[in-house]
Structure 1
Amino acid sequence: MAVPGKRMPKHFSLSTIGCDEDIVLYCQPCDHDGPRLPAHGYCVDCREHLCETCFTLHKRHTLSRHHYLLDKNSMPQTMSSASVHPSQPDNLTKPCPKHMKEMIKFYCQNHETLLCSVCVTLEHTGISCEVNYIPDISDLVINSKEHQVILKAMDTITKQCCKTSEDVKKIIAKSNSSLTDVLADIKKFRREINQRLDELERQAEDAAKAIQQENNKNLKTVETTCDDVTKSLKTSSGIIQHLNTSKQADKLFMELKLAEQMIKDYEKRVHQLAAFDVKLYNFISNKEISTLLEKDRSLGTFTEKSLKQPSPPPAVDIKFRKTTQQGKICVETSKDKQACYITGMTLLTPDLLIITDWCNCAVKIVDTCSQSVTDQLQLDTIPSKVTSVTSTELAVTFRDKQTILFISVYANKLKKKQTLKVDGKCQGISCYQGKLVVSFVQPAGLQILGTNGSILKTVRGENIFSWPVYVTTNSNSIYVSNCKMKTITRLNWQGEVIGSYGGITKLLGITLSDDGTVFVCDYDRNVIEEIAGDCSTGKVVLENVNSPYTVCWCAETSQLYFSCRTEQGKHDNFLQVFKLS
């Protein structure tokens, strides 16, 4: 039996103590540092026997007040092996990030957080958290599944970091290479600008020299004529004076009459010389070129193409729309020789609608407020489709001539500008942020062009396009109506097909709404359908309309304009107007 007042040896076995009735249980906390005191109770959580003092304090201390305690009669009458064989001394020397003077010694199961004693006392009490002393649970992690999972996760992240680093290195190299090409393009563009400016300078110099040559020629003519007249008049004057002095009356009479005729002729010649229109000149610089030289202008812009695959936009649910007919607008004019055949339509402003009239070879301005045609530009060939380039400029396709005509709009008047030659029979056209997207029916395809005609992207393929007659665009997508394939084809700005919508019997005009849905004319079914921006779903919004052909949406007024093609003037000469809400 152990002697009271002495410390229990650190290494002993219960078998050395003797029979059960001889076992004396002592307070284990006191047994570490102080006098040996008999056990008065037992803490189930700590798995320790406690003396009376420790038992009382255990119920008061914040860390242990909620532990499960057994009194002397209920406590175990044997010591646990964990208590008899003390564990190895801990290595808990890591400071707490919140309380730097305290070491981390505990772990909260609920919050999965490492704690010091202050953290436990202030934030993780026994009521809300299950807190463990690390040495009591640490043996469980050796060769554990958690140990293997964490090492595997670390290895996975390490590999991901290496791969990401390599991937970024490659795309940075591509980006830097593209910028090298950009710098070469800038220098090439600069050379082209210099060449063009040199050419314009030569033209101006040639014009100035031509005027100078004309001035010098006129001066020479005047000087020669005046010299001849002066000499002739002096000679005649001398003869007249001599004949008068010598009183040769007959000769003097004839000479005077000849002089009278000479004076009339010379007066006419001098008058003609005085009629030369000689001007002073000043130089006025070209405003467009001067604008380019302003300080806030740049040589150009960098277009971007992400090397990452863009995430597809979320699907757009097509909401129920209430439709109300607002009336119709007559687009027939006195210049028209046939019933109207409206094949293209675009809004310049909410008040100005631009239409192309196939049969009458015309582009017309329709004032939506007065509901009338305010100007009509007659053309020498049939126009196909139209788009707004800016608030004062349009672009019109001509399928048979394989050209695009730019038209200015100033003071509600249409005026032809430059013409652009393209590579095929162009039909649909749409402009977004300075880029023209043009569809071609022969050869079937699509091109993205700069407004100067530079080809930025070409997309062709029989499996992609078949008679693509209309096109519309926004920041995310390009939508093309494939008439013969009976599908709406959706592409990104890199020319990749990212969606399609079918089930339309005869697909013609399309337009985009402000919320990203697409309105489509189904000519054979006599309906206008609205399709989600991701081409996933669609529903009919207008039915029983007369052969709808081309369509245009006004976001400001929530109005839908569309033309009809019935070959009957009572329908074809009018634009139908519906409000959708």
Structure 2
Amino acid sequence: MATCGNILSSEKAYDYNCTPCSQQERFVEAKRFCIECVEYFCSTCLAHHEKFGLTRGHTLVKCEEVSKINVPTPLSKCELHTDKEEDMVCGDHDVVCCRVCITKKHRSCQNIDYLPELARQFKDNGRRKELEDDLNDRIEELKSALKGSTARALKLKTRQTTHLKRLDIFQKSIVEYVAFLVNKTKNDIQNQFGPEICSIQEHLQKYNEQLSKLNNLSEVLSNENDEIFEYKKVLKCKHTLKEIQIGGNELDDSLASYNKFENEVMEAVVSSLNDGCLFGTVPILGSKQPIDVTSICFKEDKTSFLILLADFYNSKIRRFENGLNETESFNAKENIWGVCEVNKHEIAFTLPALKKVQFLSAENSQVLEKKFHTNIHCRGIACLNEKIYVTGGGMIGEEQGQLNVFDMKGKLLSKYEQDLDGYFFSTPRSIKVNAEGIFITDEQKGVVCLDLEGQRKWVSNNSKCKFSWGICFTSKGNLFVSGQLSNNIVIVSKDGEFLGELLNENDGLSAPKALSIDKRNNCILVSELKKPNLKMFYIGDCDI
């Protein structure tokens, strides 16, 4: 059964039903189709169609030929002038309207055209393709703008959340710190004034006793009339006077110094404000060498979380538990570069100079589990599906930068160094791995992504991120990447598209290195070059 656009066809009795009759719920076989009216007509309706001058000259075709010809689209009626068709176009305003509207509203417009003719020209001269290209270009521009705006929104939200969170931390910290200082100072005051007060009390008691004794002697002397007895009492009085010593009335000015203790409290608070310890940083203490955290591993379970830091210069794995307080450290006695979680019970770290991967107990950082040699100057390390991924090489005097994959016993499974397009890496740094692929920061090439079979997927090397170092996943599998020389953290999509900047120098970043997400506190932990602390930036519910 044939159909054409909005043309009514029926399954009642005929292949082609008369349109006017069908509108009256009568089904009569159509004999002809009018191209201008875009309707089927039976013999009776066709006779009426031929009577009127307006329709007498219309083009009529056999019904079965409708599918073979280009039937024009029926024109819509004007909303303002319902008896008129919208057959005109005002190019100045890009609107379709009827001839009355043209006369009344668009009399001064220059670009007036007949709609069917203009539509035919548009299709014939390729302008449709131009418009489609323009639309596609604008769609891509909007997609790019959307991604950029999303990144900027996250940047602003991160700044806002970080400032608010740091103020909350400051308020709590300052109260706790001042309370600590006040209690400490109270103890100092007690310790300094207490002994002196006790000494004075002893003097007062002694003076009262001596005064009482002298008063008694004075009274006895004044009432004695016998010369012998009087002289004996005189001798006793002289002996008593020799025993009495008066002293200790001088006040220790150092103890009475005006505002001494209050000033000490104020100076301690000001000192803490200046070093930023009350604004959400995690101090790393007790090191003789400069602290340089090259890698951060965040490990959590249902009841606790653990942060492990690779302190390169001090050759230590530093351990921070629930309260972000350092609890213990493991001294490897050799420079440590990377650290990662292997499983619930183990972590692993790299020793570049020894070309070795060492395993460590996650429960007790003093217990060594096992080790294996890599034969490369190993740095970045990650673990997925019982495989250890290790980056290394690329520095002066070292092997070519590469990625090696080992099993849990240290057997080399794969080595990824280059493909037909050249070497993958110059100097590979940090590494993250998930089901989407292998993501590696590189000193010169930015971020390099390989699939799990070692095939190059993409390289993202944006000039806004210089000397890429740290890397971690966002909640949606995209990437945060630190630029050590550009002093910033940027966002790169899982497909390698540069989405924008998250943090920079205006947020207090200086030579950022290692990165990790603290999911419990919704914040990014960032180490900086040779800085004795971690900085915390609160990203809230990260939607990127």
Q: TM-score normalized by structure 1?
A: 0.46
Q: Which has the higher contact order (CA 8 A, sep 6+)?
A: 2
Normalising by structure 2, we get a TM-score of: 0.48
